[in-house]
Amino acid sequence: MNELLIFEPNISAQEELEALMKVSSGKMTWTVIIVRVWYDWGVENNVFWINKQNKTITRFGLGH
């Protein structure tokens, strides 16, 4: 499935997060729930906690 170009942005984002994890010395964690097209639509339309235009996210809780 990784060879489908439609998933390239998702794969790139995951690879970037994995690289950040390596240099964070265990101080950063992340969780992903992959729902494909529905999630991508939500990000594009600012439905979720990600603001693509401002390049910001809203972190809930303590971030642990």
Q: What would the 3-class secondary structure string for 1-49 be?
A: CCCCHHHHHHHHHHHHHHHHHHHCCCCCCCCCCCCCHHHHHHHHCCCCC
Residue 4: per-residue pLDDT? 63
Domain ranges of the chain: 37-64
d(CA 26, CA 28): 6
pLDDT digits (tens, 9 = 90+) for 8-61: 777 888 888 889 888 988 888 878 777 777 777 777 777 777 787 888 888 777
What is the pTM (predicted TM-score) of this model?
0.45
Please give the C-alpha separations between residue 47 and each of 3, 27, 38, 42, 62, in angstroms, as whole numbers.
28, 28, 10, 5, 22
